[in-house]
Structure 1
Amino acid sequence: MDNPSDDFSGYIMQLPDDCLLFIFQHLDCGSDRESFGLTCRRWLQIQNLNRRSLQFQCSFTMLNFSSLSQTNTRISTLHLYRLLNRFQNLESLSLSGCTELPDSDYGLEALSNSCLALEDLNLSYCSRISDYGVRAISQNCRRLRAIRISYCRNLTGAGFQGCSQTLTHLEADYCRLEPNGIRSILSGGGIEYLSVSNLTWCTRVNGLVVISVGFAAKLRVLNFRSSRTIGDDCIMTIAKGCPSLQEWNLAICHEVKIAGWESIASHCHNLKTLHVNRCRNLCDRGLQALRNGCKRLSILYITRSSQISGVALEIFKLVRGNVEVKEEEVMCICPHGAFRF
C-alpha cells in the first residue's frame, strides 16, 4: 500500500500557481514565509515574485560621507542583475552605499527595465550614477513615489524631466543640482516633500526661483538647511508661490534677512513648522515679524544668538503661547574644551 503522505505531497505539487500564491499570501508567520521557497524551485519562484522589498547588506541609513570614503562598499553588477531578474515585483529597493553601481548595462538602466512596479528607491551615496541613469528610472518606473539621491555628486537633476506625477518625495541633500535640474524635478507637478540641504551652486544665480513658478503648488515640506547662499529674493518668491507649505527648514541659512522673514510672516499662511536654527541674520525685528504672522505656526526651532535678545524671545513665547519654541544649544570649542550656552 502506498504511503498516504506521498499522495498528499503529490497533490500539493499539482496545485496551480494561483493557489500556491494564495497560500503564500495568507501565511502569517514570518519564518513560514521565509521557508516557503525551500520546498522546490517552483515554490521559490512564487516566493520571489511576491517579494515587495529588498535592501542590500551594503545599504545603510545613517552614515556620513567621510566615513563612507574609508570603507570598501562594493556590489557586483552581475549579482544585482540576477537579483533583479529574480525579484521582478519589487516596490521598495535600497541600494544606498553601493558606490560601484553604474548607470547602464547592469546598473540603473537594467533596474528601470526590471522593476516597473517600483515605488520607493534609495540611491544615496551611489557616487557613480549620473543623470543618464536617473532618466531611465524616471521614464520607466512610472509608479515611483519616493527617491533618495543624497550625496550623488554627479547629478544635476536633469534626468527627472518628464517624471511621473506620482513622484511626491525627493531627497537630494549635498547634490550639485542646477536650476534646470530643479525645474526637471518639479516637472511632474506632484512633489510634496523636497529636501535639498547644503544647496549652494544654483542659489548663486537665484536658481531656486523655479520652485515657485507654478511647479510646486503641492509642496508641503521644504528643506534648505545649510544652504548659506540663499538670499531674500529667493525666500520672498518661494513664500509667495508655495501656498501649501507646512514645514520649512532654513537652519544655517545666513543670508536670509529682514525682507525674507517678513515675507514668510506675510505669505506662509499654512506654515506649521519653521526651523531658524543658527541663522545669523535673524534679529529681534525678524522674530517680531514671525510673531505677528504665520498664524498656523505650531513649532519653532531657534537658537539664541547675539542678534536675538532674551526679551524679544520671551515676548514671542508670551504672545504666541500656542507655538512650541524649541531652543537649540550651541556648542563652542575653546582651548579648555567644549561647552554649551
Structure 2
Amino acid sequence: MSLFPNHQRKREEGEKNDQDCPCKIRRTTNLPDDCLNLIFKYLKTRDDRNSFGITCRDWLRIRDNNQESLWYHNNYDPHHKYEPAGKYPKISPESLAIITCKLLIRFQHLKILSLGRLPRITDVDTLNSQSFVSNVQTLLINPCSYHSPEYSDIQLSMIFSWFPRLTCISLRSSGITDKGLETLAKCCSSLKTVNLDKCCSITDSGLSCLLQNCRELRSLDISWCSSITGIGFLGCAHTLTRLAACECKLTLEVIKAIVSGGELEYLYLETVSSELAKVDKGCIINTEAVLTISKGCPLLKDLFLSNCEEVELEGYEAIGMNCKELEQLYVMGCQRLCDMGLQAICDGCNKLIEFYIDGENNSCSSSILEHYFDGKKPEVILWS
C-alpha cells in the first residue's frame, strides 16, 4: 500500500489521461534537473540540443534554461522600395514587442539577445511588463530598419528597463536621440561597451550624459556621428580602453581630455577631409594631435590613422618613440608619411604585428619599405 495514496491516485489518473490523449507530452524520466543539465551540456550540435527539448516538457524546460543567446532578426521594412518581397517575415513593430516579451519570459537565462530592430511598445505591453526584468547582458539592435520608428521617452524607458543588467549594447544606425541615450544611461548604468556608430541624431549632450552615468564604460564607438564635437568628454572621468571616433569633429582640447586617463589601448581615428573641415570647422588629425596621443597613451596597442593627411614626420617619430606596446598601425592614405617616419616606426615599435600602409599614396619608396620590414622585421605582416 502506498504511503501517499493521494499522490498515487493522481499519478494513475494522469497516466490514464495520457493514454487517452497520446499527443500529450509526458515526463519520460525521473532524473533530477542536475543530471539533465549535465546531459544537455555534453550535447555538441544544434540538432541534438533541439531534439533534447522535444522529449517532454521537463526536458524542454532544461533546454530553455540553458539557452544563453538568441538571434532574432526582423528587418522587414514595408516603406523601403528596394526591400525584396518575401525575404523577411512581415512582423509589425507592435507584434515584435509581444514576441520579444514572450521570448524573454521563456528563456530566463539569456545573456545575448540580437534583434533586427527595437520593438514598438504599446500601452498593453507597458501594463503587462511593469515588473519584467531580464538577465540579458548583451543587446544588439543592428542592423536596424531603414526607417526607424520614433520612440517616446516612456517607451524607451520601458524597453531599457527590461535590461538592467546590460553591460554591452549596440545601437548602430538606430537613429536614437539624446533623450533616448539619456534614458539608456540611467536605466543601464553598468554598461561597459556601447556602439553608437552612425547614430547621427545624437549630440555632445547625449554623449556627456552617457559618460557621466556609465562610470564603468570601457569601449565606445561614436564613428560617423556627425553632430559630435567631443566636448562631452570634457570634465568626465575617463575609464575607456577603446574608442572609435572616425569622422568626428574632435578638437585638440577634446583629444587631450580623451587621452588624459592614460588607459586607451585601441584608438580609431579617421580625419574629416580637408575640404570638408574648412566648411564645417571639423578637426583634422594633425601632427600636434598625434603627439598628444602618443604621449598620453603608453598602453596603446591599436592605432587607426587612415587618411590623416596632416600628420608630418614629427608625429610618426613620436609614435616610434612613445608607443612601445603598439601591435597594429593603420596609416593608409597618410600622404606625408616618408622614409624617415617609416624608419622611426620600424625602429621604435618593437611589438608591431600588423602594419597597414598604402604604398601609392605617401612619400615612402617601395625599396625602403621592403628594406625596413622584409629585412629588419620579417615577422610583421605588411598590408599595402
TM-score (norm 2): 0.66
Shift of 1:227: 4.5
Shift of 1:293: 1.5
Shift of 1:4: 3.9
Note if 1:316 corresponds to 2:377.
no
Q: Give secondary structure in 2 for the equivalent of 1:162.
A: helix
Q: Which residue in the other structure is 2:230 paired with? A: 179
Q: Give secondary structure in 2 for the equivalent of 1:139.
A: helix
Shift of 1:280: 0.9
Give the Cα separation in 2 of the matches to 1:310 and 1:242: 30
Larger Rg: 2
CA contact (8 A) 1:173 1:195 kept: yes
Unmatched runs of 5 consecutive residues or more in structure 1: 61-67, 329-341
Unmatched runs of 5 consecutive residues or more in structure 2: 1-11, 105-133, 274-283
- After superposition, the Cα gap between the structure-2 partners of 1:287 and 1:75, relative to the gap in structure 1 and judged at 3 Å, is farther
Aligned match of 2:259 in 179, 192, 212? 212
* 1:58-137 aligned within 5 A: 58=74, 76-86=92-102, 87=104, 88-99=134-145, 100-105=148-153, 107-127=155-175, 129-137=176-184
Q: Which residue in the other structure is 2:268 paired with? A: 223
| Percent identity for Structure 1 against Structure 2 | 24
CA contact (8 A) 2:244 2:269 kept: yes
Give the Cα separation in 2 of the matches to 1:317 and 1:32: 50
Give the Cα separation in 2 of the matches to 1:22 and 1:183: 54
CA contact (8 A) 2:153 2:180 kept: no
Q: Which residue in the other structure is 1:237 paired with? A: 292
> What whole-Å deviation, never above 9, does each CA across 1:77-132 have from its counterpart, x for those lacking one?
534543554312222222113342545356532222011122332211112x1122
Q: Which residue in the other structure is 1:194 paired with? A: 243
**Matched letter for residue 367 of structure 2:** V
Shift of 1:307: 1.0
Give the Cα separation in 1 of the matches to 2:55 and 2:215: 40
**Matched letter for residue 261 of structure 1:** Y
Shift of 1:319: 5.5
Q: Which residue in the other structure is 1:164 paired with? A: 214
Superposed CA RMSD: 3.9
Equivalences, count: 309
Q: Give secondary structure in 2 for the equivalent of 1:126.
A: coil
Q: Which residue in the other structure is 2:109 paired with? A: none
- After superposition, the Cα gap between the structure-2 partners of 1:221 and 1:103, relative to the gap in structure 1 and judged at 3 Å, is farther
TM-score (norm 1): 0.74
Give the Cα separation in 2 of the matches to 1:223 and 1:151: 15
- After superposition, the Cα gap between the structure-2 partners of 1:106 and 1:139, relative to the gap in structure 1 and judged at 3 Å, is closer
